[in-house]
A and B are shown apart, each in its own frame.
Chain A
Amino acid sequence: MTIKLKQHIDPSLTPVLEEVYDPEIPVLSLMDMGVVRYAQIIGDKVHIKITPTYSGCPAMDVMAEDIVKAFAEKNMDAEVELVLSPAWTTDWITERGKKALEKYGIAAPLEEKLDKAALLGNEKIVRCTHCGSTNTKMISQFGSTACKALFQCDDCQEPFDYFKCLK
């Protein structure tokens, strides 16, 4: 189930794509986020397909522009297409991406079952990004962006974001 997309990505293009970051989470590259579905050179043009995290994610347009810019700096002409299928899932965030999220102060998504238990408040398993305690609770299912929920730590009392599992 996890990343089958590598086979559609021309490895010579990954270094450029790894330097393009999510405008709202500037530590997470588009590659680590798993939104790049396809990258090939056809003729003298780079063709990229990206898939949105959430339908209304306003960052998608910026990502597309940033990709075109990144290739332009290498004197390459790129074209970005938005595809919906297969739909993005948090499973496609790489291990490196999850570490980057945690370091940035956003708790990385848990697997589906644990995520449900955490969001329903049945289990205290989301780890506070400030002090590492799992004595945490959800404040709101919806956070500052569609992909996050807002949590609070009952030990250090600080609020923090949790990247919701999306399947």
Chain B
Amino acid sequence: MKNDNLIQYIFSIADNALILGQRLSELCGHGPSLETDIAMTNMALDLLGQTRSYFQYAAKLTGEDKTEDDLAYLRTERQYRNVLLVEQPNVHFGYIITRQFLFDAFHLLLLQKLQNSTDETLSAIAKKSIKEVSYHFRFSSDWMKRLGDGTEESHAKVQEAVNNLWTYTDELFHNLDSDNEIITQGVGVDLSELKDSYYEKVKEVLTDATLVIPETKYFQKGGKKGIHTEHMGYLLADLQYMQRTYPNMKW
């Protein structure tokens, strides 16, 4: 039972990396320029690498001969604990960068706390990932500024993306009841504590980018409890296709 909470907690972190990594890898060969294409696939690789570390640990805790692949490919939609933000589709480059930026700002804060986890493995993964995510954050912040403070069209597109995606930001800071014990033990991070620094940082970059902070007071949630947007089913169909069609296949 104790393990069960920890495994669920690991999913809540790893699934964000997995699903965003999957979204970014859809762009392989489709980026607007060679450099951005390579950058986004590099970030996908980092995120999937981090996912593997988390899942290898979760698989070990699960026992029953489970592997990282079982956890990545063979769960049902309701069992994925990622936030709604990361499953949002690749509408256009400005949208992709905004999604990335809104997540990176959170991801960096989370890892800065998680590296102090009393769980040695989680702390080690966080210390490793933080170096990579610092680069992601730098990349997405730079692009927010280039697009926001760019042409009329890029400004309009990225402002619209911010307006659309803002509603998914609040969920990043929700703790689930099942995580309480993990948090009190010092294994997990109390997400509500990250909220103020997050919005402060995000607003700073958006202001620099000449973008307006939306006044939305209504926020979407549900991903963490396994209640996802319609996009998730399509994403999983793509992600799981090979393992569902050819169970236990290996490269």
Q: Is the interface of A mostly helix, strand, loop or mixed?
A: loop
- Rounded to whole Å, the gap between the CB of A117 and the closest CB of chain B is 13
- Rounded to whole Å, the gap between the CB of B42 and the closest CB of chain A is 4
Q: Are B35 and A142 in contact (CB under 8 A)?
A: yes
Q: Are A52 and B38 in contact (CB under 8 A)?
A: no
- What separation, in Å, do the CA atoms of A113 and B120 have in the docked complex? 29
Q: Which B104-138 residues have C-beta < 8 A from chain A?
A: 120-121, 123-125, 127-129, 131-132, 135, 138
Q: Are B42 and A55 in contact (CB under 8 A)?
A: no
Q: Are B53 and A55 in contact (CB under 8 A)?
A: yes
Q: Are B127 and A85 in contact (CB under 8 A)?
A: yes
A84-B53, A146-B42, A146-B46 known; A141-B128 Cβ under 8 A: no
- What separation, in Å, do the CA atoms of A37 and B132 have in the docked complex? 20
- What separation, in Å, do the CA atoms of A164 and B227 have in the docked complex? 40
Is A108 at the interface (CB under 8 A from chain B)?
no
A84-B128, A87-B124, A167-B131 known; A56-B49 Cβ under 8 A: yes
Is B52 at the interface (CB under 8 A from chain A)?
yes
- What separation, in Å, do the CA atoms of A58 and B48 have in the docked complex? 11
Residues of B within 8 A of A54 (CB): 45-46, 49, 132
Q: Which B14-56 residues have C-beta < 8 A from chain A?
A: 35-36, 38-39, 42-50, 52-53
Nearest residue (CB) in B for A143 is B38
Is A14 at the interface (CB under 8 A from chain B)?
no
Is A64 at the interface (CB under 8 A from chain B)?
no
A55-B50, A57-B49 known; A85-B132 Cβ under 8 A: no
- What separation, in Å, do the CA atoms of A86 and B139 have in the docked complex? 25
Q: Are B128 and A58 in contact (CB under 8 A)?
A: no
Q: Are A142 and B39 in contact (CB under 8 A)?
A: yes
Is A12 at the interface (CB under 8 A from chain B)?
no
- What separation, in Å, do the CA atoms of A84 and B54 have in the docked complex? 11
Chain A 134-160 interface mask (CB, 8 Å, partner B; 1/0): 000001111111100010000000000
Is A166 at the interface (CB under 8 A from chain B)?
yes
Q: Are B127 and A142 in contact (CB under 8 A)?
A: no
Q: Are A142 and B49 in contact (CB under 8 A)?
A: no
Residues of A within 8 A of B128 (CB): 52, 55, 84-85, 87-88
- Would you list 18 pairs from A and B whose C-beta atoms are within 8 A, ordered by A residue? A54-B132, A55-B52, A55-B53, A56-B47, A56-B50, A84-B53, A84-B121, A84-B124, A139-B35, A141-B135, A141-B138, A142-B35, A142-B38, A142-B135, A142-B139, A146-B45, A150-B35, A150-B38
Q: Given A142-B35, A142-B135, 16 more contacts at CB 8 Å?
A: A52-B49, A54-B46, A55-B49, A55-B132, A56-B44, A56-B46, A56-B47, A57-B45, A84-B128, A85-B120, A87-B128, A87-B131, A140-B39, A141-B138, A142-B39, A142-B42
